[in-house]
Amino acid sequence: MKIAFPIEKEGGTEQKVSLHFGPSPYFLLLGGNGEVASLLKNTSAHFGGGKMPPEFLKENGVGKVVCCDMGPKAVEMCAELGIEVYFVSEGASVGEAFTFLGQGKLRKVGLGDGCESHQE
């Protein structure tokens, strides 16, 4: 199972987790031991593709997403696809977020927890 982190530019675990989930240009995927599995260019519906971001990630083997925020529709779609979502504080790097996840310091997101200002 892979863990996805939305990021703004190409790079590794030193990149900051993006403030936005769906419109992030890239997703950094880590394996269960924190190794970089892949860097995906976001080709979901936000960038002209045919799939919504959660569908795009599920298709790429993602079982968890760590992000700063996510809209309620995306939260619901992740739940339907069996993708766990966790929120991390703004400014955290992917490496820090991965560590916090492993330490149980991130809040698991449930239905109704999405940001109402986001509609993805």
The pLDDT value recorded for residue 112 is 67
User: Rounded to an integer, what distance in angstroms lies between the CA atom of residue 65 and that of residue 81?
Assistant: 12
CA distance 35 to 108: 22
- For tokens 């997703």, name the residue: 27
Section 57-77 average pLDDT: 95
Q: Is the pLDDT of residue 117 over 80?
A: no
DSSP calls for 97-116: HHHHHHTT-SEEP-TT-S-T
The per-residue pLDDT of the chain, averaged, comes to: 91
pLDDT of residue 42: 94
89 token code pair: 């504080």
> Residue 29 pairs with which residues in a beta bridge?
4, 38
- What integer pLDDT is reported at residue 113 of this predicted model? 64
Beta bridge pairs of residue 67: 87
Average pLDDT over residues 16-28: 95
Evaluate if residue 39 carries a pLDDT over 90. yes
What confidence tier does 45 reach under pLDDT thresholds 50, 70, 90?
confident
Please say if the pLDDT value at position 114 is more than 70.
no
Give SS3 for 30.
strand
- In the predicted model, is pLDDT for residue 95 greater than 70? yes
Q: What are 87's strand-pairing partners?
A: 67, 107
- pLDDT at residue 118 in the model: 42
Domains, the chain: 2-108 (3.30.420.130)
The answer to whether residues 84 and 65 touch, using CB atoms and an 8 Å cutoff, is yes
Stretch 86-105: mean pLDDT: 97
